[in-house]
Amino acid sequence: MTASKRVAKEMEDLQQELPPYLKHLYCDDANVLVWHALLLPAESHGVSQRLAFAEAGFELAILLPQPPELLRLQHQPPYNLKAFNLRIDFSKEYPFKPPTVKFTTKIYHPNVSESGEVCVPLLSKENWNPYIKICQVLEALNMLVDKPNPREPLRVELADLLLQDPELFRKKAEEFTLEFGIDRPS
């Protein structure tokens, strides 16, 4: 199966049952390998999230251990106040090479660079495999937005602030989100 066919099938599957944290998912008219979506981060509870690997017939629980000072932050994430535009680019070698995911809306987050690149472990060369679907990548991204990982930052200064003063980080992230985020669709 070519990359274009697989990506088109994954787009079709996602649009049939769009996760609640995604809206306005579409691809470029001339290129099915370029997707756009609106990410709607939502409050989540606990430190365990699940990714369904339907193709493989099992469910994988991903435990995200958090330092105690960050546990307070996850009950009031600032990112759920707005939404964020994403761009997803698939190479012609997909699924043998991972897609790239980029925020096109500015976000104050230790795992997202100022230019929008994202540090999602699932997309690394060490963790990627052809059985992973884009829905799993988007789920992992949604979890990462709700629960920043200061241990693998792209913006060290934000990770340091998150660890040293979680309340100040949350305040700055909220101000930034309100200024640059996209209004959430109703």
Catalytic residues: 119
Q: Where are the extended beta strands (E) located within the chain?
A: 22-28, 31-39, 48-53, 58-63, 84-89, 100-103
Are residues 148 and 162 in contact, defined by beta-carbon separation less than 8 angstroms? Answer: yes
Q: For the beta carbon of residue 81, count every other beta carbon within 10 angstroms.
A: 14
Cα 44 to chain center, whole Å? 14
- Residues with Cβ < 8 Å from 38, sequence gap 6 or more? 22, 23, 24, 25, 83, 84, 85, 86, 182, 185
